[in-house]
Amino acid sequence: MAAPINVVVTGAAGQIAYSLLYQLAAGSVFGPDQPINLRLLDIEPMMGVLKGVVMELEDLALPLLKDVLPTADPEPAFKDAAAVFLVGSMPRREGMERKDLLAANVKIFKIQGEALDKFARKDVKVLVVGNPANTNALICSHYAPSIPKENFTAMTRLDQNRAQAAIAARLGVAIDKVKNVIIWGNHSSTQYPDAAQATVEVNGTSKPVPEVVKDDKWLNEVFVETIQKRGAAVIAARKMSSAMSAAKAAGDHMRDWWFGTKPGQYVSMGVVSDGSYGIPKDIVFSLPVTIQNKQYKIVQGLNISSFARSKLDITAKELEEERAEANTVLQQ
């Protein structure tokens, strides 16, 4: 049995964490042979709730879970961390401008970035789930200069899962028959869910999704808008944001980062742009990646149509604006 690794979850008393923690403790993310120590970080007023979460983790009686530390202090939380789920963030409230949301989150992710820089392992894998996830990841990385910037990612796997499920439903096939749907850009309503590169297995043969759907209007309009607005639709119905599906996506993202992608398949992750596909450098942009040995590589050479290019430009512009607003806050 391997030595335990320290896994951090922030916002640990919240809804997403509640669904995520069981996956982690049961071995669904890091595998059935990897013991873990959970480090649960939240704000002081949530410590009472977190105490109840810890009781439940104890009552699960899962053999892989070796130790649980609930805390409001970033230092013990991030000490020797191997993997980090930054779930906690300031949620957008009614009437709140984006710059106000960014200002609140800059403070949170500055503190967490500094703590990661001081206390975490230098090969730590950091996944930002809390919104605005892409720019929060950029801020966090900025304040952890001793950790490679490629070790900071933002979650767009939920959007990828949604897109894959929507295409499978449209075609009446099992979800695992649809592969290589891409989410480009920001985890926001400007993201571009792209089925042009996707394939679907029909009667044992892999075919391009557009060829099987045979409806460009649906793919370019209904499908795109449905995925872009899916989070808002869940909130409207549930009166709370996505939690179970977000937690599942966070687990999917980290598991693939840990174990790698299957041959011929890629996944979408918010990563620091290197200029691929004409995307501005140094914004965290969702791109298709393959993963081996815990290192991801941006998939190169995909054909970008003029329609797709227009969508990529819109979401890149939003991320540049977010970065500028965050930098303004940082300089205050």
- Residues in the annotated binding site for substrate: 92, 98, 131, 162
| pLDDT score of 90 more than 70 | yes
Residues 291-327: tens digit of each pLDDT: 999 999 999 999 999 999 999 999 999 999 999 988 8
Residues 14-59: tens digit of each pLDDT: 999 999 999 999 999 999 999 999 999 999 999 999 999 999 999 9
User: Is the dihedral angle over the CA atoms 45, 51, 53, 57 positive or is it negative?
Assistant: positive
Distant-in-sequence, close-in-space partners of 279: CB < 8 Å, separation ≥ 6: 273, 285, 287, 312, 316
- Residues in the annotated binding site for NAD(+): 42, 105, 129-131
Is 156-323 assigned to CATH 3.90.110.10? yes
Catalytic residues: 187
Q: Name the CATH superfamily housing domain 5-154.
A: NAD(P)-binding Rossmann-like Domain (3.40.50.720)
Nearest to 247 by CA among 182, 155, 331, 315: 155
Mean per-residue pLDDT over the chain, rounded: 95
For residue 177, what are its two tokens? 């028959």
Ordered by start, the domain boundaries in the chain are: 5-154, 156-323
